[in-house]
Amino acid sequence: MNLEESNLLSLFIWILLKGGLMEKKGTVIMERYELGRLLGQGTFAKVYRGRNIKTGQSVAIKMIDKEKVLRVGLIEQIKREISVMHLVRHPNVVELYEVMATKTKIYFAMEYVRGGELFNKVAKGKLKEDVACKYFQQLIESVDFCHSRGVYHRDLKPENLLLDEDGNLKVSDFGLSALFESKRKDGLLHTTCGTPAYVAPEVISKRGYDGEKADIWSCGVILFVLMAGFLPFHERNLMEMYRRISKADYKCPQWFSPKVKKLLVRILDPNPVTRITVAKIMENTWFKKGFIPADQLRLQPEDKSDNNHNDRKDDLPSSSNDNSEIRPESVDAMKPICLNAFDIISLSPGFDLSGLFEKPNNQKAEARFTTKNSASAIVSKLEEIAQIEHFNVKKKDGLVQMQGIKVGRKGQLAIEAEIFEVTPTYHMVEVKKRAGDTMEYEQFCAKELWPSLKDMIWTWQGEQQQQLPQPL
């Protein structure tokens, strides 16, 4: 290496250090998280393995260079990503725990998913049909949940689908997502985005598109890739690839079963109007085989008393101040989830985070109330109501699920109540329908649930506010 090259290299390293882009292993962020190894990086962000200093929990820390995103005008996209990730809390979606910021950096503390990208598994070759079906089921259920929250991902592909240590799928990277309020007066989205090989034909046409139908197309391409080991539309010439996409010009390998081929024809329909819906996909006989909804899996007993007992320690710095501990399940098994400042701001009606970035969404799917009663008192009251109304109850980690014994118009009514601790003497409860008929749910809440809870309610938030009993 000559002197000029050496000087250039030194200058380059100095620039990186000056910008704070080279983070040392063991660096502590905001006195809360200790950084481990680098997991990946992009133009504006890096993702590190991290550890919560207080609890010992493994996390992924996404570090965004604020100056860069401001310079290129992407700060609104970052804000939208924060808002979206708060809305889509689902077992098959990577969870955002906390957002922090300094003068130069924005930090996302997120769920650490150990299994890596689904892309890495497919890169080794096609998957067996039952395995591909399992991943597709989890993908469709998570996409359906996102759509129910008015969120459209718009960049679904195997690289953005992660796998946890149990082999369950987690949707990630909502950087290109859009909210329901992003639609124009014609009811369509108009921003052309996504990965060419996975993008729907109507997105390419630039005449506006339905976010739900565009995501469904991408799911179909993913299913094809899982089953085949290669893309249905792949050409070196981009215009030729777009031509094939617009005509759904693809061929299924001979090992595809007739049921899979038939389903793909419905999903990869170039006409979004006649393209199959998520609801119809979930009614498909091939899709339903062995399907277990995520909310049922979530409430099944776990064998692990400590989710981090299998964490690898070799890629994290050691610390003598490790405050992590293993708590027996019998001790405070219904401990509610603690809300951090970000959660409180996001959930408060007067400070709804999404309102800072998007127009208000009047289609709230849940109701919330606050109470000065303890978590155990809340649970006891819900169990009492369930017993009177003949509901089965499952509970775990601040989550109470009530499922009716009677079969209604759309199956058994299932209601979920999640308890959040704001302070030790102040709790928030979020109540929402998980299954069954909406009208039956509203009638049950209005006639049975809310009146039974009125003695412990302090304040309300939700669409039913005008109909609910006022706090005493």
Residue list for the binding site: 62
Q: Which residue has the tokens 């987690």?
A: 170
Containing 421, the helix (H) or strand (E) segment is strand 411-423
Q: Which residues contact 240 (CB under 8 A, 6 or more apart)?
A: none
Number of H helices, E strands in the chain: 16, 17
Binding residues for ATP are: 62
By CB neighbour count within 10 A (0-12 exposed, 13-18 middle, 19+ buried), where does 218 fall? buried
Task: Look up residue 135 and give its two tokens.
Answer: 């991943």
- Which of these is catalytic: 65, 155, 215, 343? 155
Asked if residues 66 and 106 have their Cβ atoms less than 8 Å apart, the reply is yes
CA-based nearest residue to 278, from 106, 145, 84, 455? 145
Exposure string over 240-250, b if 16+ CB within 10 A, otherwise e? ebbeebeebeb
311 counts as catalytic: no
Q: What is the DSSP letter of 409?
A: B
Q: % helix / strand / coil in the chain, to the nearest 5?
A: 35, 20, 40
Q: What's CA 183's distance to the chain center, in Å?
A: 21
Q: Which residues contact 218 (CB under 8 A, 6 or more apart)?
A: 153, 155, 156, 157, 194, 198, 199, 200
CA-based nearest residue to 173, from 91, 99, 110, 123? 110
CA–CA gap between residue 321 and residue 217 (Å, rounded): 49
Asked if residues 216 and 223 have their Cβ atoms less than 8 Å apart, the reply is no
Containing 393, the helix (H) or strand (E) segment is strand 391-396
Alpha helices for 74-128 (secondary structure H)? 75-87, 118-122
Asked if residues 217 and 275 have their Cβ atoms less than 8 Å apart, the reply is yes
Check the CA dihedral 133-134-140-141 and report its sign.
Answer: positive
CA–CA gap between residue 98 and residue 111 (Å, rounded): 10
**Which residues are marked as active site?**
155
